[in-house]
Structure 1
């Protein structure tokens, strides 16, 4: 098992390409190098070891089947695989009716991290922090799948068709959800600015 800090993106890409060609040895190497980190990520979302193990297994099955759709110009290999794990974890949470609370907390953290600027002055950092909290609050008011569609489109910079493919949704649904969710966010953020 490789230390996550020593994971070579180029090597991961090579193994993913091998998995796309149904090379079991390349896939095994990919699994050995990344499974510990991906398991830890799933465990942070789910909080239960047995659920994280289930999600990890489902994720690697999905990675095996979808390795051919990985596009290196869209995301680094670990980012793509982490997205697969996160989606599987959120699917499990939705099925277990506990999605809203944990999902919202994770999105709050994702938004705070996405808006963090290490070069910001203290005043700018405070403004960014306040903006991030307002955005996180408004995002948490959205339905789980709508929040996930927006996250993939804006935080992971996937196109509408890529979001539709990743979530197995019709592209029209994805476009509608993004448009409506952005309208709701705008309304929520505008109301939050009023004294």
Structure 2
């Protein structure tokens, strides 16, 4: 497992065009980011495609990363989640699937043993932390960040103002970050 300092160093070196650092960053973080994409998309082939897009985005934006006391994994996970949600929204809006995507569906979509073990451990930690949130807030976080619902959809679902949803999500993420960092 890479340390926070190593990940920050690799991101910094990527900003300078260091391909070796990019490979090290990919090796250390790809399983986690793939898990994020898979959780949002619930489709292994799409998650694999999005993972490539995630690392293109990381390579292109490494210079924008600012070590500001927050975990560099938070920055990487945010990129992964946003790309996966963008893909999910494109799928919901009728973005057609091509022949290659249909052929990819024929492959075994089951994650391997290593991915299952990593995902199970992370899922258990996240589930325990989600249970610490006030009632209804955990569901809002799940729907926003794992299922891709918009703030407006959540506000309608919970019958609260849009700014209340934003506050719930912001506070929920802060609580989760604190819980998961322990």
Same fold by TM (over 0.5)? yes
Matched residue SS, 1:14: helix
The question of 1:9 aligning with 2:4 is answered yes
- Structure number with the higher helix fraction is 1
Distance in structure 2 (CA, Å) of the matches to 1:44 and 1:10: 27
Structure 1 residue ranges without an equivalent (≥5):
1-5, 99-109, 117-127, 148-179, 187-195
Give the total of aligned pairs. 124
Q: Is contact 1:111-1:135 (8 Å) kept?
A: no
Q: 2:37 aligns with which of 42, 46, 52?
A: 42
Q: Is contact 2:131-2:138 (8 Å) kept?
A: no
- In structure 2, relative to structure 1, the CA distance for the partners of 1:16 and 1:137 (3 Å cut) is closer
Aligned pairs for 1:129-140 (under 5 A) are: 131=134, 133-136=135-138
**2:149: which partner in 1?**
144
Root-mean-square deviation (CA), in Å?
Answer: 3.1
Structure 2 residue ranges without an equivalent (≥5):
94-125, 153-160, 168-182
User: Taking structure 2 as the reference length, what is the TM-score of the superposition?
Assistant: 0.57
Q: 1:113 aligns with which of 129, 139, 158?
A: 129
Aligned pairs for 1:32-181 (under 5 A) are: 32-73=27-68, 75-97=70-92, 113=129, 116=132, 128=133, 131=134, 133-136=135-138, 144-146=149-151, 181=162
User: Taking structure 1 as the reference length, what is the TM-score of the superposition?
Assistant: 0.54
Higher relative contact order (CA 8 A, sep 6+): 2
